[in-house]
Structure 1
Amino acid sequence: MEIIPNILVVGSMNMDLVTRAERMPAIGETISGTGFNTIPGGKGANQAVASARMGANVAFIGCVGDDVYGNTLVETLSKENINVERIEKIKDTPTGIATIIVDEKGNNSIVVVPGANALVSTERLHKSKELINWCNTIVLQLEIPLDTVIESIIEGKKKDKTIIFNPAPVQELDEKIYKYVDYLIVNEIEAKQISKVQENNHRELVESLLSMGFKNVLMTVGEQGVWFNKENSIQHIPAIKVKAVDTTAAGDSFVGAFATFLAKGLDKESAIKLAVKAASITVTRIGAQSSLPYLREI
């Protein structure tokens, strides 16, 4: 009988304002774009949808503005059968937005304006303790206040929950949480900034993070795949070769899929391989949540 895990995501919700162009503009330059879309996004919401589409029961704690974008974002998660009861609509505060430029090679540049995401407070977290009791796994990022992320990690470990932490966009972290994080998922840039090691050797970067006290490290390196620790060694799983059209949400797809397959009882390496497959599908499609695959596609 298949295990259906309960996953709690504490995180951000943004409306992505996506402009497509042949290339990125230089400073001070105006160029013509080739397309524009508004697409539901935000790292937390993306990871929640990715988990739900892989077969998890998902609940979300977050904030949006009491505006059109906020209503749309909540409705979108609800349609994915995600529990949205603990998403608060805040008056006189805009919903978070991300302005994204995607070039013809699928590369992107992103500016995030947090809006209501900045109000996902520890007080709001404590009002939602029933969800911490309910879940098996807590998934976290850094588009909400760091204090709330730290409190989520500590409260989760008190209840013996699996903590999956994707520290993006990266910032200075509190060392006291390292030992409470079960799985740290970073890209190469984040790994360098957290470890303060500017080493280009992927194996050594993972080792440096493990030496800081993290139990399990998964470092994604785009089209080169994923490096991770297994027992007493550092191992590599290659990416699947595809033609990328938009790399937006590839990392979120990986995180959500990995969290779900791990919570279903798969071993770490098997969960990584399936998450790599999910991310490879994501980059062949345009947008954030619109690009996330379903379990039947994996």
Structure 2
Amino acid sequence: MAYEGILLGMGNPLLDISAVVDDAFLDKYDIKLNNAILAEEKHLSMYDEMSSKYEVEFIAGGATQNSIKVAQWMLQIPGATSYMGCIGKDKYGEEMKKDSTAAGVNVHYYEDEAAPTGTCAVCVVGGERSLIANLSAANCYKSEHLKRPENWALVEKAKYYYIAGFFLTVSPESILLVAEHAAANNKVFMMNLSAPFICEFFKDAQEKVLPYMDYVFGNETEARTFSRVHGWETDNVEEIALKISKLPKASGAHKRITVITQGADPVVVGEDGKVKLFPVILLPKEKLVDTNGAGTLCQFQQLNLYHWKMSI
């Protein structure tokens, strides 16, 4: 029972539409590899085109939900994780609920009456991937849902919280409510930089939550963008990780640890005024399917579940 609901995630639930595409498709929709962006008007027709032109796979996902599902799988304890986000009242929403529940996650979705369930195009070329998210219902989450007694009970029960930076585009109020609860109750609050555009265009919302972050995750591109928008004038990932770890905190109960991945290069961890490097075990190319689900998810698995199991 001590593990029930111990980890809570909040984010943008999306149904991934994943396919191996070609360079011509990327060029047509002005998509760059290894990028993560929100869909614009020019992207809206790509989802149907992918489904009709390529062999697609449908996966219940979204950055935070993916991580929560993997954490649930690693913990192997029914109901250890919970998740909140907004879906539509449609067949894709039903598929989302079915998949996450089957994975053992206690999902409390807010179901929007008008907007369809969000989707994310996962375009894979040569083992590299780009993500183009059409948030739809995921963009409709309301903090009123979080405040309902049955949902706030999940917040109170949890000891660890993980939210991807993408949720800053949807409900920063909800993030702050959870972050403030974590700080007031000496719990662990974790977030991800998620994408360069979050650091650039949602800088103010991100800065309001930064003091509450006990763990900050990101990759080298996001870290360098963070550095640039904060006027640090350095591209050195180790230096950036250290500077992020030293930013002011709202609670002194937990030190901040910054984790930055660099693809095949060592993972950089900034902690206690020092930088540690963790080498990456290279996967033979013949075993690599694609990079979707890598990076942040890998950080989350390797560097945190050990701490949870050892400290609870």
What's the TM-score, normalizing by structure 2?
0.76
Structure 2 CA distance for aligned equivalents of residues 253 and 44 of structure 1: 9
Structure 2 CA distance for aligned equivalents of residues 134 and 182 of structure 1: 18
Q: 2:70 is matched with which residue: 50, 75, 90?
A: 50
User: Which residue matches 2:57?
Assistant: 37
User: 1:92 Cα deviation (Å)?
Assistant: 1.4
Is the CA contact (8 Å cut-off) linking 1:15 and 1:69 kept in structure 2?
Answer: yes
User: Which residue matches 1:190?
Assistant: 222
Is the CA contact (8 Å cut-off) linking 2:120 and 2:131 kept in structure 1?
Answer: yes
Is the CA contact (8 Å cut-off) linking 1:47 and 1:253 kept in structure 2?
Answer: yes
Alignment of 1:45-194 (within 5 A): 45-55=65-75, 57-84=80-107, 86-104=108-126, 106-127=127-148, 128-144=151-167, 145=170, 146-169=172-195, 170=198, 171-172=202-203, 173-194=205-226
User: Which residue matches 2:270?
Assistant: 229
Is the CA contact (8 Å cut-off) linking 2:245 and 2:258 kept in structure 1?
Answer: yes
Is the CA contact (8 Å cut-off) linking 2:242 and 2:271 kept in structure 1?
Answer: no
Matched, 1:245 2:271: no
C-alpha spacing 1:198/1:190, structure 2 compared with 1 (3 Å):
farther
Structure 2 CA distance for aligned equivalents of residues 198 and 192 of structure 1: 9
User: 1:210 Cα deviation (Å)?
Assistant: 2.6
What letter is aligned with 2:7?
A: I
What letter is aligned with 2:117?
A: T
What letter is aligned with 1:219?
A: I
Is the CA contact (8 Å cut-off) linking 1:188 and 1:220 kept in structure 2?
Answer: yes
User: Which residue matches 1:13?
Assistant: 13
Structure 1 CA distance for aligned equivalents of residues 296 and 206 of structure 2: 23
User: 1:117 Cα deviation (Å)?
Assistant: 1.4
Structure 2 CA distance for aligned equivalents of residues 13 and 47 of structure 1: 11
Structure 1 CA distance for aligned equivalents of residues 282 and 12 of structure 2: 30
The worse-fitting range, judged by mean Cα deviation, of 169-178 and 46-55 is 169-178
Unmatched runs of 5 consecutive residues or more in structure 2: 30-45, 250-255
C-alpha spacing 1:194/1:125, structure 2 compared with 1 (3 Å):
farther
Is the CA contact (8 Å cut-off) linking 2:9 and 2:162 kept in structure 1?
Answer: yes
Is the CA contact (8 Å cut-off) linking 2:4 and 2:81 kept in structure 1?
Answer: no
Q: Which has the higher contact order (CA 8 A, sep 6+)?
A: 1
Structure 2 CA distance for aligned equivalents of residues 20 and 50 of structure 1: 23
User: 1:15 Cα deviation (Å)?
Assistant: 0.7
What's the TM-score, normalizing by structure 1?
0.79
User: Which residue matches 1:281?
Assistant: none
User: 1:14 Cα deviation (Å)?
Assistant: 0.5
Residues 71-102 of structure 1: CA distance to partner in whole angstroms, max 9, x if unpaired?
11111110011112x21221111111101210
Structure 2 CA distance for aligned equivalents of residues 157 and 36 of structure 1: 42
User: 1:256 Cα deviation (Å)?
Assistant: 4.1
RMSD: 2.7
Paired residue total:
264
C-alpha spacing 1:255/1:164, structure 2 compared with 1 (3 Å):
farther
C-alpha spacing 1:259/1:61, structure 2 compared with 1 (3 Å):
farther
Unmatched runs of 5 consecutive residues or more in structure 1: 267-298
Matched, 1:219 2:251: no
SS at match of 2:225: helix
User: Which residue matches 2:234?
Assistant: 199
Structure 2 CA distance for aligned equivalents of residues 116 and 143 of structure 1: 14
Is the CA contact (8 Å cut-off) linking 2:175 and 2:209 kept in structure 1?
Answer: no
Give the structure with the higher percent helix.
2
SS at match of 2:173: helix
